[in-house]
Amino acid sequence: MVTGRFLDELVALDPEQFDITVISAEGFGSYNRIMLSSILAKKATVASIIQKDEAWYQSNDIGLKLGLSALKIDTEHKQVLLSDQSIISYDHLVIATGSRASKIPAKNLHLEHVIFFRTINDTHLILNQCANTQRALVIGGGLLGLEAAYGLAQQGVKVTLLHRSGWLLNRQLDEKSGKMLQDIMQNMDIEFRLKDEVVSFNGEQSLESVTFKSGDTENFDMAIIATGITPNSEIGLDAGLEGNRAILVDDYMQTSDDHISAIGECIEHDGQTFGLVDPLWRQAKTLALRIVKDEKQAFIQQEVATKLKVSGVQLYSAGQVETKYNNLLCIEDQSAGVYRKLIIKSNKIVGIVLFGDVSSGPFYFDLMQQQQDVSKLLPNLIFGEQAVSVEDK
């Protein structure tokens, strides 16, 4: 996805300046990976999520090598070795290799029908197996895991979602809103197993059952692993580029090699890695401006709001979700399924948790981003944007 966005920026700025070649290990051009769970839920097709097909690359005179992995970077000769043993030379190389699904410390990950959910091919595997699946286990109570569980339930599969923490989306929601989310998704015929982990996948060739840390063993026909991502940074680090968690870049997406830049989920910036779209888009713009116009527009890390693509679920979260020391504004309407929490520090919003009614989310988020003093907006602030007077705004 970030490569597609970067190409858009390049084409908009100066399409004639470079002879561009894109190397893709997958057999597709740029596609919207965020929508993979919507394919599972029958709300999208593979064709509908392709953002740039082969015709787009041809029309923009951009070389595209599909189904070929980049195996090695020779920084001395400025060349890249591909999986078909061909070599491509470069004046400037951009690494945008993204990430892969993180492994979990469980035995027998190699069994058939234990699937890491990350690509179009993974989605095809899951859909093909659904016809022969009565019970599926989804591992991971983050955004991707919840969306995968919802998608499988829409396919008529009996789903159990496993999460090692005490409530869902524990990084984005507090315990109260996490439990509210669980209640809604249980009404979608999704079962939950919290505060537990997989010890072993069992079967001779294909998955037959799963043994949990709690000691229980249950039968499953398929398991989907969606526990997070690991940067695909090895090709850069093996070439000698600096980095710890991923490929290290500066504020302008420059690596430790003057002729190599990197963007997206494979990078590390100020000790952070990335998995959401907003920062990746800004990275693509920063790099394009530097390469095309030698313009320095620094990439700055910012808070990003969280939303969930599950029908019937409205949530909005940003910043801190738990606090022991700051001021707290909270309101709940159990009958309406509405919950709002604002965390205030030094008269500024530092945390937002909204569930059931998220209409004021962008308003709160803008106040937080601008670090605006909200003391004059109290106590009506918690009731939403419409409750705050124009004069106070």
List pLDDT tens digits, range 136-178. Answer: 999 999 999 999 999 999 999 999 999 999 999 999 999 999 9
Residue 311 lies in a domain: no
- Please state the three-class secondary structure of 130-151 as a single string: HCCCCEEEEECCCHHHHHHHHH
Q: Same domain for 93 and 146?
A: no
Q: Kindly report whether the peptide bond that precedes residue 105 is cis, defined as omega within 30 degrees of 0.
A: no
| Lowest mean pLDDT segment, chosen from 60-74, 88-102, 110-124, 379-393 | 379-393
Average pLDDT of 340-344? Answer: 95
Tokens 């015709």 — which residue? 55
Domain at 124, CATH number: 3.50.50.60
Give the position of tokens 């308003």: 363
For residue 363, is it within any domain? yes
Q: How many domains does the chain have?
A: 3
* 8 A C-beta contact, residue 255 and residue 261: yes
Residue 390 has a pLDDT of 54
Q: Are residues 128 and 217 in the same domain?
A: yes
Specify whether the CB–CB gap between 117 and 6 falls below 8 A: no
Residues whose CB falls within 8 Å of the CB of residue 183, separated by 6 or more in sequence, listed in order: none
Q: What is the pLDDT of residue 392?
A: 60
Whether residue 213 sits in one domain with residue 122: yes
Residue 146 and residue 96 in one domain: no
9, 30: one domain: yes
Question: Does 367 lie in the same domain as 326?
Answer: yes
Q: Is 184 helix (H, G, I), strand (E, B) or coil?
A: helix
For 87-115, give the DSSP string.
Answer: EEE-SSEEE---EEEPP-S-B-TTSBTEE
Looking at residue 391, its pLDDT comes to 53
Region of 186 (left: φ > 0; alpha: ψ -120 to 50; beta: rest) is: alpha
Q: Both 349 and 371 in a single domain?
A: yes
Residue 190 lies in a domain: yes
pLDDT band for position 312 (50/70/90)?
confident
pLDDT at residue 323, rounded to an integer: 81
Domain that holds residue 161: 114-227
CATH code: domain of residue 364: 3.30.390.30
* Residues facing residue 162 across a β-bridge: 139, 193
- Angle in degrees, 0-180, between the axes of helices 277-293 and 2-13, rounded to the nearest 10: 30
User: Is residue 346's pLDDT more than 60?
Assistant: yes
Q: For 92-131, how does the pLDDT look when each residue is reduced to its tens digit (9 = 90+)?
A: 999 999 999 999 999 999 999 999 999 999 999 999 999 9
Distances in Å between the Cα of 275 and the Cα atoms of 143, 301, 368 are 11, 13, 21
82 and 129 fall within a common domain: no
203 with 258, same domain? Answer: no
Looking at the structure, do residues 268 and 346 belong to the same domain, yes or no?
Answer: no
- In this structure, are 217 and 135 located in the same domain? yes
Residue 298 belongs to a domain:
no
Q: What is the pLDDT of residues 264-302, one digit of tens each?
A: 999 999 999 999 999 999 999 999 999 999 999 999 999
Give yes or no: residues 263 and 322 share one domain.
no
pLDDT digits over 172-219, tens only? 999 999 999 999 999 999 999 999 999 999 999 999 999 999 999 999
- The answer to the question of residue 309 being in a domain is no
Q: What is the mean pLDDT of residues 336-362?
A: 95
What six digits make up the tokens of 51?
């953002």
- Is residue 299 included in any domain, yes or no? no
pLDDT at residue 324 tops 80: no
Residue 245 lies in a domain: yes
Average pLDDT score over the chain: 95
**Which range (236-240, 245-249, 326-330) has the least confidence?**
326-330
